């Protein structure tokens, strides 16, 4: 009964079959290697939580895709075209959304090739892994602080060098100016800061203090894991 459940609908005598034990072994090792990759990636670096979760599950997704293709050139070309669709979501979406798309497309690939049992098993394993990784932070402890990205749009005649440093030093544990670029045909500057707030409850006070520096500011504050608020 178990062999029938994990047998492909389109299997023939020329088709290489995958044993359930081998499938579980490959997916399990891929998940472990994904966690190892996360540990190496976050060492002395800062990443959003959603990106780390995606890094942890992607090796398992790619592993299953390779097992399903298994040397079939036609299937490989079809898979490459299907996964190109992720590009249409990658620009506005977060890493967590892109990772969920990869998992969904991997599930569709498995079921589309007739391996319904493996599709069900893959969904359970990857779904449980994503729920676990989202529930348990994979980053080193941050003490409950909130990592955010701050965007400030200022007039071109305002000297931005150090003008916001007193406010940033008061309300953040750390901050860095990540990017400066011109916008609106060069008439405005857009500053991007990566920062860690001391107290997330003081976001409004933080923004009010920034506005006191210059009333003609456009300010956007969002969490790095996902865009929570635009102020």
> Is residue 180 over pLDDT 70?
yes
Average pLDDT of the chain?
78
User: How much is the average pLDDT of 156-184?
Assistant: 87
CB contact at 8 A, 75 and 113: yes
List the structure tokens of 64: 């299953």
**Any residues with CB less than 8 A from the CB of 110 and at least 6 apart, and which?**
64, 68, 118, 119, 122
Which is higher by pLDDT, 141 or 25?
A: 25
Greater pLDDT, 74 or 202:
202
Q: For a pLDDT cut of 70, what percent of the chain falls above it?
A: 74
pLDDT at 137: 62
- What is the rounded distance in angstroms from the CA atom of residue 127 to the CA atom of residue 166? 45
Beta strands in 57-199 (DSSP E): 146-155, 172-183, 188-197
Confidence of residue 226 (pLDDT cuts 50, 70, 90): very low
What's the CA dihedral at 8, 5, 107, 134 to 10 degrees? -150
pLDDT at 143: 46
């Amino acid at each position: 009964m178990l062999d029938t459940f994990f047998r492909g609908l389109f299997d023939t005598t020329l088709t290489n079959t995958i044993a359930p034990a081998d499938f579980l072994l490959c997916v399990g090792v891929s998940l472990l290697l994904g966690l190892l990759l996360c540990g190496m990636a976050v060492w002395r670096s800062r990443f959003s939580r959603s990106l780390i979760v995606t890094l942890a599950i992607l090796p398992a997704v790619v592993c299953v895709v390779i097992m399903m293709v298994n040397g079939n050139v036609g299937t490989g070309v079809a898979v490459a075209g299907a996964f190109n669709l992720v590009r249409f979501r990658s620009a506005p979406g977060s890493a967590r959304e892109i990772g969920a798309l990869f998992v969904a497309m991997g599930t569709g690939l498995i079921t589309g090739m007739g391996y319904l049992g493996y599709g069900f098993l893959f969904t359970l394993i990857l779904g449980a892994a994503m729920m676990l990784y989202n529930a348990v932070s994979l980053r080193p402890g941050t003490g409950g602080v909130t990592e955010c990205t701050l965007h400030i749009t200022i007039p071109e005649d305002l000297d931005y060098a150090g003008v916001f440093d007193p406010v940033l030093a008061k309300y953040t544990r750390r901050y860095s100016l990540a990017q400066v670029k011109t916008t609106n045909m060069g008439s405005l500057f857009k500053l991007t800061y990566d920062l860690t707030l001391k107290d997330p409850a003081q976001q409004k006070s933080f923004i009010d203090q920034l506005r006191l520096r210059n009333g003609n500011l456009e300010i956007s504050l969002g969490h790095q894991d996902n865009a929570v608020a635009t102020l």
